[in-house]
Structure 1
């Protein structure tokens, strides 16, 4: 009978007997350290994450290198990079760690948890939700940590990878299908022009949208990644003249100020930024709304900690929308 190959070395099996040897040798205790090393790519930061000193973490890394027959972390310039084997281990480690926590862990307690929650979002979501989210986390889970990953145009095109490696991804509802999700934020798009704009007066027209240069977020990689207003205008036969592209929604008003460019931006974010940027908010001649959903991987659906975190995000979003209305 053939044995399933393992990451430990070419041709070496990893059937039931070696698995029992791992359990008996208590190598399971090294999994959190291995995970921290592969995520942080730093012995010092990994040690801080799991509560070990740098020498103790280095000793565990040396032990893991012997066990896997691989360096796992190699220095490239001034930083450490993952070896191909280490990169292949990381996604499996996430699944294994979550399974072990559910199997052996105590009932989830937000008041004492030190869990790190990873959230992939645009800077729009950060700008409109962070204040409320910070308050809830500080009150209910003061020792939990949050890892915010910035969404880019490229990330929008590869949402599947994001969902596999994060606790949650916040994207327009229609962009991701096939994963569990829940509605999170609703907003609408408004026009943005500079206070000094010499063409647009008190009203933004379809002619302005067709003839003036644009600042557009998330349209650099592919037309399919463009925002909904651009797709709606193209469906009306208007091909916007995009002069500046950016992965940041927050940067849009700054790229409009002092020019005759125009842009569309989420209304809540626009009103937060107009007090500090020399731009005006105008109604759009095309009514376009946006609905954002939180999506996550199926394996997390029944996880108690993740269930709590989803509730926290929902409450933070509701508070943010109520405060802005």
Structure 2
């Protein structure tokens, strides 16, 4: 039997029922969510069980739990529903000023606090009905980017983590050192000896999640002594204040660190490789005029961010 003939035999409303059952893990609650009677949803569950040859929901004591197979379906169902929604939300003609589309973008708090704020401001001025949902990525999301980006619009992440996906370079940034005002171990300049002797605050320091400058320090023959690992660039200055630690911060975040106070921003004692931040998306979105409009917005916002970086550089 061909894939198309298998699909023709299915009622795609079952996908909606399956999503509710997987989310609620209860026939009663799923029926309430979909405004259906419990017998109607029970009938849908029976058809799903027959199709997959799996119970989907299995009773354990007084509760129902997802079967291992159903757990595997969770992400696939979410992606499929989002893709279907996009198909039926598409418009033959689209006017930004009249759009009510929500764009979903993965990224870090660094990306959201910099280009994300500029994008949202530009969109509010030109297309007041457009919304943005900025979602923090995780190492797992990045590893599964090709699949995740079928249902999300884009991911903000520097080069070096993704490949084989379309992208635009959004803005270039540089790295700086951050030390506490009262850190007497560091003089007017940050030295290689400081890097070798003092503890670090690192962001995303793991095998699959890291910063280019952290790797570069290691390549220079210095194995950083890491006191703290924090998965937030904006939180890093808090872990430097009042300590003898060294933090590594992007130029676009220098104004945030200065506003917080209690730290000194310093040039690094080696030529750190610049960060090239990019906006990545799945090829399925490439010909979408709304998506193209969003990409142009990020490109414009990136130029604004890069200008501000040079204006505030130490």
Q: 2:232 aligns with which of 244, 248, 263?
A: 248
Distance 2:101 2:259 in 1: 37
CA distance 1:139–1:57, change in 2 (3 Å)? farther
Corresponding residue of 2:209 = 225
Corresponding residue of 1:91 = 79
Cα shift at 1:259: 0.2
Contact 2:165 2:281 in 1 (8 A): yes
Structure 1 alignment gaps of length 5 or more: 7-12, 43-53, 75-79
Q: 2:190 aligns with which of 204, 217, 228?
A: 204
Cα shift at 1:270: 2.0
Corresponding residue of 1:49 = none
Q: 2:115 aligns with which of 121, 124, 129?
A: 129
Contact 1:192 1:279 in 2 (8 A): yes
Bigger Cα displacement from structure 2, 242-251 vs 169-178: 169-178
CA distance 1:163–1:170, change in 2 (3 Å)? same
Contact 1:215 1:245 in 2 (8 A): yes
Contact 1:35 1:93 in 2 (8 A): no
Distance 1:86 1:165 in 2: 13
Cα shift at 1:83: 5.7
CA distance 1:313–1:237, change in 2 (3 Å)? same
User: Cα deviation per residue 1:189-236 (whole Å; 9 max; x = unaligned)?
Assistant: 0000001112001100001011100000011x31x5321112112111
Cα shift at 1:140: 2.5
CA distance 1:71–1:243, change in 2 (3 Å)? same
CA distance 1:248–1:113, change in 2 (3 Å)? same
User: Cα deviation per residue 1:76-103 (whole Å; 9 max; x = unaligned)?
Assistant: xxxx99865454322223333334444x
Cα shift at 1:296: 0.4
User: Cα deviation per residue 1:228-251 (whole Å; 9 max; x = unaligned)?
Assistant: 112112111111111110110001
Corresponding residue of 1:287 = 271
Distance 1:234 1:269 in 2: 23
Give the root-mean-square deviation of aligned CA atoms.
3.6
Corresponding residue of 2:104 = 118
SS in 2 for 1:107: coil
Distance 2:239 2:102 in 1: 34
Corresponding residue of 1:14 = 6
Corresponding residue of 1:304 = 289
CA distance 1:35–1:113, change in 2 (3 Å)? farther
Corresponding residue of 2:245 = 261
CA distance 1:89–1:237, change in 2 (3 Å)? same
User: Cα deviation per residue 1:163-204 (whole Å; 9 max; x = unaligned)?
Assistant: 344210111112211000000121100000001112001100
Contact 2:186 2:194 in 1 (8 A): yes
Contact 2:183 2:243 in 1 (8 A): yes
Contact 1:72 1:86 in 2 (8 A): no
Corresponding residue of 2:303 = 318
> Does 2:136 match 1:150?
yes
> Does 2:179 match 1:187?
no
Distance 1:216 1:208 in 2: 15
Bigger Cα displacement from structure 2, 146-155 vs 178-187: 146-155
TM-score by length of 2: 0.78
Contact 1:38 1:86 in 2 (8 A): no
TM-score by length of 1: 0.76
SS in 2 for 1:285: coil
CA distance 1:58–1:125, change in 2 (3 Å)? same
